[in-house]
Amino acid sequence: MERNSFKNISPLDHRYSMREEEFQEYTYYFSEEATIRYQLMVELAVVKALNLRGVCSGEVVEEVEKAVEEIDVEEVYREELKTRHNIRALVNVIRSKVSDRAKPYIHLSLTSYDIVDTANFLRFKEAAKKSLIPHLEELLREWLRIVEEEKETIQIGRTHGQYAEPITFGLTMAYFASRLDERINVLERAAGNLRGKIAGAVGAYNASSIFFADPDEFEKEVLAELGLKPAPLSTQIVAPEYMTDFVHVLISIFGVLANFSDDMRHLQRSEIAEVGEYFAPDQVGSSTMPHKRNPINYENVKSMWKEFMPRMITSYQDQISEHQRDLTNSASGRFIPEIAVGLLLAVNRLKRVSSRMHVNRVKMKENFNRSSDMIIAEPLYIILAAKGHPDAHEYVRKLTLKSEEEGKNLSELIKNDELLKPYLNKLDERQREILYNPEKYTGIAGKRCEEIVNRIKKERGFNE
Amino acid sequence: MERNSFKNISPLDHRYSMREEEFQEYTYYFSEEATIRYQLMVELAVVKALNLRGVCSGEVVEEVEKAVEEIDVEEVYREELKTRHNIRALVNVIRSKVSDRAKPYIHLSLTSYDIVDTANFLRFKEAAKKSLIPHLEELLREWLRIVEEEKETIQIGRTHGQYAEPITFGLTMAYFASRLDERINVLERAAGNLRGKIAGAVGAYNASSIFFADPDEFEKEVLAELGLKPAPLSTQIVAPEYMTDFVHVLISIFGVLANFSDDMRHLQRSEIAEVGEYFAPDQVGSSTMPHKRNPINYENVKSMWKEFMPRMITSYQDQISEHQRDLTNSASGRFIPEIAVGLLLAVNRLKRVSSRMHVNRVKMKENFNRSSDMIIAEPLYIILAAKGHPDAHEYVRKLTLKSEEEGKNLSELIKNDELLKPYLNKLDERQREILYNPEKYTGIAGKRCEEIVNRIKKERGFNE
Amino acid sequence: MERNSFKNISPLDHRYSMREEEFQEYTYYFSEEATIRYQLMVELAVVKALNLRGVCSGEVVEEVEKAVEEIDVEEVYREELKTRHNIRALVNVIRSKVSDRAKPYIHLSLTSYDIVDTANFLRFKEAAKKSLIPHLEELLREWLRIVEEEKETIQIGRTHGQYAEPITFGLTMAYFASRLDERINVLERAAGNLRGKIAGAVGAYNASSIFFADPDEFEKEVLAELGLKPAPLSTQIVAPEYMTDFVHVLISIFGVLANFSDDMRHLQRSEIAEVGEYFAPDQVGSSTMPHKRNPINYENVKSMWKEFMPRMITSYQDQISEHQRDLTNSASGRFIPEIAVGLLLAVNRLKRVSSRMHVNRVKMKENFNRSSDMIIAEPLYIILAAKGHPDAHEYVRKLTLKSEEEGKNLSELIKNDELLKPYLNKLDERQREILYNPEKYTGIAGKRCEEIVNRIKKERGFNE
Amino acid sequence: MERNSFKNISPLDHRYSMREEEFQEYTYYFSEEATIRYQLMVELAVVKALNLRGVCSGEVVEEVEKAVEEIDVEEVYREELKTRHNIRALVNVIRSKVSDRAKPYIHLSLTSYDIVDTANFLRFKEAAKKSLIPHLEELLREWLRIVEEEKETIQIGRTHGQYAEPITFGLTMAYFASRLDERINVLERAAGNLRGKIAGAVGAYNASSIFFADPDEFEKEVLAELGLKPAPLSTQIVAPEYMTDFVHVLISIFGVLANFSDDMRHLQRSEIAEVGEYFAPDQVGSSTMPHKRNPINYENVKSMWKEFMPRMITSYQDQISEHQRDLTNSASGRFIPEIAVGLLLAVNRLKRVSSRMHVNRVKMKENFNRSSDMIIAEPLYIILAAKGHPDAHEYVRKLTLKSEEEGKNLSELIKNDELLKPYLNKLDERQREILYNPEKYTGIAGKRCEEIVNRIKKERGFNE
């Protein structure tokens, strides 16, 4: 059914599907066409398994293989207008394309949800492996590149939006890289754990046990054709928790991207200006303020997270299905692909933006310098405490207040403080260096950056 | 941009947009085409207001009127590829269609969100009035029809899924009609309260005050062209709460539909069977169980509610926008039309199902009869209490236990209970009638049905 | 039951209930003690209404009045250990304190939820009027005070975290004051719309119709004793939407506070420093960084919003109750008082912080000055456009790029631009002033501040 | 601070904490007292690690050990009134209890969140191991017991609330047992993956690197004292995802319990009556309907799920913390223990109810019998299809319609259908048996029950 896409309702189907190549990939896994394609794959897998058991011939498999390739989603929908049942329609269409000899083996002993759930879980498993994870890894590579490049770039660390202690911008990025890396691992696990079922209308293998003494073995054989394992026990549907976990991981990955985007937005504030989005020469920042350079990509990712994050509530509600199932997870389940596409849009956007991120080292140094006098409050208090000062924190806190009130540098006040002299005389060289050169007070930031980069690259084979 | 709709991601844009006439209506208010159409209306309204103030001529208005009619959403999108700013693109396209004389008046003194927010609020206001409310009222009519027809149909009331006291099925329906009626009123209020703004980039009328001493009056004039009022104080955007309230009302209406659907699903259970969905002669209930008659429409509505209800969280998050605004409500705001369409789909589905609802009075009477003996426990206890029995509730509770243990009718036990006789002798006729004819124990159910129907019909002018 | 409050689970019952006076107020409306107190009020109201109808004597009313005053929540809970039913326990305790003559009139013709729902709605209605709204108005007063004081304090307006156009800090605050004012109005309406019910076990007035021909009139009489109106139609429970709306308003008010707190947090950033929380002389900002001044109160309010906002989902789910009701809204409903207390904690915290807000006008001017050269891009473009420049926005956009690239002031570039001269010569005085004195480019910010303050003060009688 | 618990706000701190022994266990892990106790454990672990490195003496460790044991939560809170910083208060209190010699080693090189996060993660890890998992396993045992007892008890399987195909009640229960078992495994993994951090104020080990060349090794040593591993990279806080995952697992377990409770509620409906909650002899079902037996425990669990499930939104929001952190996850994080306690309350409630579940086999057989005629539609269609009938599903569907219309048994219609005879003659014995004895049509339900029970018991060592 052709339709002008600006007549579509979902922004996923108009505004956010303008990049044609990207959208073809999403469509491959997440459109209605994909849904039907995967369902046909499961119907075929059953026939193959029947053949392996000698129930039907190789010719039947070939007939079905050919039929399945020919089928068009519109045919199925036209048939559904009559049956008002989507899987019955699918079965009718396959049957209409094979010989009478093959007909009996189509959908033999199956219930709709043997097809629907298995196809859906398979689709998400493959999409994770072939689309989500590769894109996430490309984003991770970009971030690791920045970690390496900026591992020694001094930046003032901020807590509560206030200057805290110095780090490097590499470390800032390493934190996000490390979290993303961990989430990709969790996604691999959750995707690998998606299951299928061929257990019939209520999960007792009622129908398949008419033909097989070991219908649960038959289930394994069908699913093995598709690279899936059965759930330990199904009703009409696969136990929902495998999908609940999968959606949770998608949402939690989105959370990492949202956190990253928020931070970059703030680092791009007029007053901070430590990073910038790339801006095309023709790009307009504001319809009325020609000078504006807005962090629109980071804002978009944050906004998409706000849209998709709450949908976890739908997944939690879909854990509840009455008795051997009700259908109240059906429509809601059809929207899960949107979450994956929303995430992919954000990942691809951040890949583009990260690959051209403008890191303003000069501004980072400037901001650091503004704070550097106060920074030494921490090492001073700690060194004093370690050297036996009985009340170091309180003493230093009062010095900082004095510094503010009198408008004097903290470092000056320290040098001229007679009470501190006995302690300061005991400092070793490293401690002295930190106290008088706050830019040395970055702990082991650089070393940590290297470790993170090396470990992740090695584990993921990024160097090859 | 033509696209096969089965390649769309959102089920709203494939599966749930199969009914062509319905979908054209949704598209009219909720597609990207609609977004652009409403934005053009606001741009035009500004030029009209300028003309009323004598700033530009009537010819300019005519030029812009003509330009606005001609513009196609694809043109705007093509221009946005260059500007990467949607409203600048819109303005450029209008400007390209008018004479140099008219050009300066396009978007004069406006910021993007003067257009975006005003257009959006206007769109929802009109959609509520012309689409949402009329459809909701049609559903309400169907329900009121059933209330009238079934106002005396006895049904056993259920609390906790347990037989409680008798009502009529009309009263069951009247409860939903009354709640829907109340929600429509609230929707009218919320839609009527949607506001616009023409207050410039940061809400201080900076730009418009270059031209007018009373830019806030000019704002009123522009909005009056559109039938809107300004918000009391805007920044770059209209204060979000008007939309937050509006979305809340949509979600809370959906909740009433979900509650109704859940109840009808349960009344359709095999064991209860008091109501039924209409089932087409060719319709298939299950791909494997040919005898099934499933409440798929009610299940669908419940499922859609699960999908859309959590999106309120997005609206609450969009109340927060930094300083004079950030853009993190932009993408998320583009998804709000989906909620309206989701609701309309549910309303239209329930209209169809309600118009052909099968009410099984025989089964309702049967279920009532099964409970009727126990039902009298309540009136008995209350009458005893009123007649001075010192411990009526406890006494009756024990009688019901005895009835269960000994398998005897409660009414029998009562008749033969010597201790009760003195109290029962004092009953008036009405009380005696209730105690021995539990089907009379429906309070004022019938009268309430009539009152509800009459009041709502009158208030909404349904009789005319 | 006495218990060490540090053994409590909820932070509302340990950490956030340290301020004794505040907590006593919350306890008065929102503790379990309050729940029972309000339920007793409803039981008493029924007896009073019975007396007005002449069913029972004035002495019975007095007995019950006295009993109700004496009852202690622990007594009720002890009785519930036996009955395992909370309202039966309540009734038993009242009955145990009155004469046999009065006993029959206690709870006569009522079902538990006549008491529970009515009491609960009454409690929230009164709490809104006597606690929530007064506290919100006190916060509003503080904000209006700041609006007045800072109505002319120049501040750079920010969109996307980027310098946009100038406003005044008064206008920043007026936006929040205006939103809060509007929300208080909505709260008043929602609280005033909370209903009660005395319609019996399934809403058909089954029991009360044994005694009265007009049981719905009797319901009105009981509720009138409490200052409530009945819902148009109840089942065992009041239709949930009145409470859904009420909770929504609480959450949406919380959203305004969260937005305010977020903005103040950011304005307190080290680089911006335009406002500051008051800091006590002994207060410690960080356990390890003695120099830190963190916006902990604003952070706390944002955090509390994150905790309570999602609970709206619970309210939406509680719209669904099967048939004449199930009990799955019972436990969840008991948590609603937490939302009110969470909101009150945030309001009271912001009252304290706002009353001592440090507004740094010097820093605001500094930040404004940094942006003032760029600011004129907007008025320049608009004036050019108005004066007939055919492509003003694009021309100015390129000038801003040139200014950046060549490191020259935009105002200088303008002055020396030959192509602009013909347009600039046409400026009137006000336009010229704005172009060369960007601090004049605040539109009608000051006037708007005054209007907002005057209107709200008048409407709320704040001057009296 | 002693307080009457009926003055508490949270139902967790009044109504739901009445069972004293249970509540003591929750308090042990989840009260404010527990928070402080775990924080003290971390402070002590640091001193121990310092001692292992030879930085301080064993006597210092002993002093701190003793101090930590003596400290009372009220002392800490009193100190916080002065410092307005909770961890500084904690440190001051420890310091006040040790000699000047030991003072410098308290909190040496730490930031508050080294303590707060590590303590919190440790607390949840231990609570999972010692409280949550053991209770969940006890519930699992109860369910497995029922699976075994009812593995052959015939029950009609229900999809869409409609009779579908037969199962056994054991299989119904096995599905929940299998899901709960899987969730416990996931909980073990998530709890085992909770991490700690000793990486200083911004995660760069700034302070600890003053003393140690290998501060990351020192971090490992401290955490090893507590049985924790460090996160790969921290800022001021541990990366949030470990806790996000943990909360997700708690919520998803709650979902399984809610699904179970919903099903049991429905099986307890008056019309179905297949299971029942135990009812105490004195228990009152309704304040006005003495005969009611309500599924109040199942309703309570569902209701608690509605309360706690949405709080996942809070956890997702807490994934976002600006830069090296903001404090907006602090208050919200304090409410996480409530989720654990809410879950424990539900688990303990279901343990009690499950241990006394009344399974009504007679009623199950009755319900099955009512459906048994229609049930054979599925095996008939499947057998016909397998035996080469070209249009089996459609043929049988029409037979079921005929059966309804003519009021004849489906089995009768089959026997008398001439067109079916050739197919039916080909049936083998097992197929014939199923077709004429629908109660044999339970597939491999019994065998699956046994397998599930045996596998879980073995894996969890339940037999020992």
Q: Residue A303: which of B3, B311, B330 has the nearest Cβ?
A: B330
Check: CB of residue C192 under 8 Å from CB of residue C107. no
Check: CB of residue D299 under 8 Å from CB of residue D265. yes
**pLDDT given for residue A280 in this prediction:** 63
pLDDT of C451 over the 80 cut: yes
In total, the C-beta contacts within 8 angstroms joining chain B to chain C are: 301
Does the distance separating the beta carbons of C205 and B443 come in below 8 Å? yes
C155 phi/psi in degrees, rounded to 5: -145, 145
**pLDDT given for residue C123 in this prediction:** 98
**pLDDT given for residue D372 in this prediction:** 82
In total, the C-beta contacts within 8 angstroms joining chain A to chain D are: 302
In terms of Cα–Cα distance, which of C389, C397, C382, C395 is closest to C430? C382
Average pLDDT for residues A182-202, to the nearest whole number?
Answer: 97
Name the more confident of B370 and B304.
B304
All chains having 3 or more CB pairs closer than 8 angstroms to chain C: A, B, D
pLDDT of A86 over the 70 cut: yes
Per-residue pLDDT of chain D (464 residues; tens, 9 = 90+): 788 999 999 999 999 988 888 888 999 999 999 999 999 999 999 999 999 999 999 999 999 999 999 999 999 999 998 888 899 999 999 999 999 999 989 998 899 999 999 999 999 999 999 999 999 999 999 999 999 999 999 999 999 999 999 999 999 999 999 999 999 999 999 999 999 999 999 999 999 998 899 999 999 999 999 999 999 999 999 999 999 999 999 999 999 999 999 999 999 999 999 998 876 656 665 555 555 678 999 999 999 999 999 999 999 999 999 999 999 999 999 999 999 999 999 999 999 999 999 999 999 999 999 888 778 888 888 888 888 787 888 888 888 888 878 888 888 888 888 888 888 888 888 888 888 888 889 999 999 999 999 999 999 999 86
**pLDDT given for residue B282 in this prediction:** 63
Chain C, nearest residue to A293 by Cα: C162
A43 phi/psi in degrees, rounded to 5: -60, -40
pLDDT of B49 over the 70 cut: yes
Does the distance separating the beta carbons of C282 and D84 come in below 8 Å? yes
Which value, to the nearest 10 degrees, does the dihedral of the CA atoms of residues C325, C329, C331, C337 take?
Answer: -130
Amino acid at C421: K
Q: Residue A215: which of D168, D259, D443 has the nearest Cβ?
A: D443
Question: In this predicted model, what pLDDT tens digit does every residue of C390-401 receive, in sequence order?
Answer: 788 888 888 888
Alpha-carbon distance of D298 to D276, in angstroms, equals: 10
**pLDDT given for residue A428 in this prediction:** 83
Name the more confident of B419 and B12.
B12
Check: CB of residue D119 under 8 Å from CB of residue D42. yes
Alpha-carbon distance of B399 to B414, in angstroms, equals: 8
Chain C, nearest residue to D78 by Cα: C18
Does the distance separating the beta carbons of C270 and A163 come in below 8 Å? yes
**pLDDT given for residue D216 in this prediction:** 97
D4 CA: distance to closest CA in chain B (Å): 32
Q: Taking the CA atoms of chain A, what radius of gyration do you get in angstroms? A: 30
Q: Which helix (H) or strand (E) holds B165?
A: strand B162-168
Chain A, nearest residue to B26 by Cα: A9
Beta carbons within 10 angstroms of residue C54's beta carbon: 7
Beta carbons within 10 angstroms of residue C62's beta carbon: 14
Alpha-carbon distance of A4 to B5, in angstroms, equals: 9
All chains having 3 or more CB pairs closer than 8 angstroms to chain A: B, C, D
Chain B, nearest residue to C161 by Cα: B326
- Within 8 A by CB and 6+ apart from A406, the residues are none
Does the distance separating the beta carbons of A77 and B331 come in below 8 Å? no
Average pLDDT for residues B366-392, to the nearest whole number?
Answer: 84
Alpha-carbon distance of C209 to C203, in angstroms, equals: 11
Strand locations in C122-228 (E): 154-159, 162-168, 195-196
**pLDDT given for residue A281 in this prediction:** 59
Does the distance separating the beta carbons of B382 and D163 come in below 8 Å? no
- Within 8 A by CB and 6+ apart from C307, the residues are C342, D311, D314, D331, D332, D335
Alpha-carbon distance of A287 to B111, in angstroms, equals: 6
Q: In chain A, pLDDT over 70 holds for what percent of residues?
A: 97
Does the distance separating the beta carbons of B15 and A13 come in below 8 Å? no
Average pLDDT for residues A228-244, to the nearest whole number?
Answer: 97
Alpha-carbon distance of C223 to A169, in angstroms, equals: 65
Rounded to the nearest 10 degrees, the angle between the axes of helix C241-267 and helix C112-127 is 30
Q: Where are the alpha helices (DSSP H) in D310-356?
A: 312-317, 330-333, 336-355
**Quick one: C74 exposed, middle or buried, by C-beta within 10 A (0-12, 13-18, 19+)?**
middle
- Within 8 A by CB and 6+ apart from B391, the residues are none
Task: Give the DSSP letter of residue D50.
Answer: H
Could you tell me the two tokens for C65? 């009045």
3-state DSSP assignment of residue C293: coil
Could you tell me the two tokens for A317? 């509600």
Check: CB of residue A204 under 8 Å from CB of residue D445. yes
Q: Which of chain B's residues have a Cβ under 8 Å away from the Cβ of D294?
A: 159-160, 162
**pLDDT given for residue B464 in this prediction:** 64
Does the distance separating the beta carbons of D367 and B289 come in below 8 Å? no
Does the distance separating the beta carbons of B312 and A311 come in below 8 Å? no
Q: Which of chain B's residues have a Cβ under 8 Å away from the Cβ of A199?
A: none
Please report which confidence band the pLDDT of residue C227 belongs to, taking 50, 70 and 90 as the band edges: very high
Please report which confidence band the pLDDT of residue A33 belongs to, taking 50, 70 and 90 as the band edges: very high
Q: Residue B289: which of D164, D291, D367 has the nearest Cβ?
A: D164
**pLDDT given for residue A373 in this prediction:** 78
Question: In this predicted model, what pLDDT tens digit does every residue of C88-113 receive, in sequence order?
Answer: 999 999 999 999 999 989 998 899 99
C440 CA: distance to closest CA in chain A (Å): 17
**pLDDT given for residue A190 in this prediction:** 98
Alpha-carbon distance of B70 to B54, in angstroms, equals: 26
The separation between the first and the last C-alpha atoms of chain C, rounded to the nearest angstrom, is 45
Alpha-carbon distance of D146 to D151, in angstroms, equals: 8
**pLDDT given for residue B438 in this prediction:** 85
C234 to each of A173, B122, B136, B266, C88, how far by Cα in Å?
A: 58, 36, 21, 20, 21
Please report which confidence band the pLDDT of residue C42 belongs to, taking 50, 70 and 90 as the band edges: very high
Characterize the bridge pairing of strands C275-276 and C195-196: unpaired
Q: Which of chain C's residues have a Cβ under 8 Å away from the Cβ of B396?
A: none
**pLDDT given for residue D60 in this prediction:** 97
Could you tell me the two tokens for A261? 């985007």
Question: In this predicted model, what pLDDT tens digit does every residue of C110-160 receive, in sequence order?
Answer: 999 999 999 999 999 999 999 999 999 999 999 999 999 999 999 999 999
pLDDT of B290 over the 60 cut: no
Average pLDDT for residues A175-184, to the nearest whole number?
Answer: 98
Q: Which of chain C's residues have a Cβ under 8 Å away from the Cβ of A266?
A: 161, 266
In terms of Cα–Cα distance, which of A201, A185, A203 is closest to A193? A185
Please report which confidence band the pLDDT of residue A408 belongs to, taking 50, 70 and 90 as the band edges: confident
Amino acid at B57: S
Among A163-177, B132-146, D434-448, where is mean pLDDT lowest? D434-448
Please report which confidence band the pLDDT of residue C376 belongs to, taking 50, 70 and 90 as the band edges: confident
Q: Which of chain D's residues have a Cβ under 8 Å away from the Cβ of C284?
A: 83-85, 88
pLDDT of C288 over the 60 cut: no
**pLDDT given for residue D285 in this prediction:** 58
**pLDDT, mean over chain A:** 92
Alpha-carbon distance of A434 to D224, in angstroms, equals: 29
Chain B, nearest residue to D369 by Cα: B271
